[in-house]
Amino acid sequence: YPAIRAEGLTKTYGSGESTVYALRGVSLSVLRGEMVVLLGPSGSGKSTLLNILGGLDSPSAGQVFFDQDELTGFDDRHLTQFRREYVGFVFQFYNLIPSLTARENVALVTEIAREPMTPEQALELVGLGKRMDHFPAQLSGGEQQRVAIARAIAKQPRVLLCDEPTGALDSKTGIVVLEAIARVNRELGTTTMVITHNAAIANMADRILTMGDGQIQRTELNAHPCAPA
Ligand code: ADP
Ligand code: ADP
């Protein structure tokens, strides 16, 4: 069975004449270890989909399965617990604690995780082995985002969900960050989904989904995803 399976996800906001359809019946399966990129114009439902798959938001209708667990059947308490244990999130903004070093920011997560890697292992994996004792203000934007990626993967989540991880970065720095995500996917085998506008990452993905108007409008398979250099 797939790592993530969604069936008929619908999400609406508001009611009556002002109802907004963020998702209109989305179904998908993501295989274990797969790297999937979500493309599509602003407002097409990408964040809504990712948030529902990661248990940050609930659908108006439809189901989400994580391995064999039905996420949409969990109450809030279980959903929060599930998210903490099994889902790694990376957002556009890094949300690092300024008074803590890179290592200490990652250690906040490893101290409470069930089967964490060490902060050092996580930071090495994203290429920050030489920056572990730096504070966020001493790091570039791309380096700060890689600390955020290290923090997200250090608990060894079942899935890594990234919502525009390069949105605040120039395109050259963005590629370095996307390569770090692709390396995590390849070396740890973490099932990964990335929302991005950066076409460069499409070549690193196993599959590219293009969303439009609350639906998946196009699916492309990459037979030979390019490993990052
Ligand atoms: P994308 O990530 O592709 O930009 P979103 O998932 O953020 O798209 O949004 C999909 C649609 O749902 C948009 O029309 C957006 O305005 C609407 N939407 C998203 N979140 C909310 C919300 N909390 N309240 C009302 N409308 C929302
Ligand atoms: P709760 O709000 O139920 O206490 P948490 O805040 O602990 O749950 O969130 C659980 C996971 O989801 C954490 O990994 C956290 O980083 C992530 N998360 C939830 N909401 C956000 C958000 N708005 N921005 C960044 N990370 C978030």
> What is the per-residue pLDDT across 66-95, written as a single tens digit (0 to 9) for each?
988 899 989 999 999 999 999 999 999 999
Ligand lying closest to the C-alpha of residue 48 = 1
Rounded to two decimals, the pTM is 0.88
Q: Which of 109, 173, 108, 116 is nearest to 146 (CA)?
A: 173
130 vs 201: which has the higher pLDDT: 130
Q: Which residue in the block uniquely carries the two structure tokens 């069930």?
A: 114
Ligand 2 atom with the shortest distance to the CA of 79 = 3
CB 159 within 8 A of CB 86: yes
Considering the chain, what is the average pLDDT of its residues? 93
Using the mean position of ligand 2's atoms as its centre, give its distance from the Cα of residue 88 in Å. Answer: 10
pLDDT surpassing 50 at residue 229: no
Ligand 1 atom with the shortest distance to the CA of 42 = 4
Q: How many residues does the chain have?
A: 229
ipTM of the complex model? 0.72
Q: Which residues line ligand 1 (CB under 6 A)?
A: 13, 20, 22, 40, 42-48
Q: Is the CB of 168 under 6 A from ligand 2?
A: no
Confidence label for 13 from pLDDT (cuts 50, 70 and 90): very high
pLDDT surpassing 70 at residue 157: yes
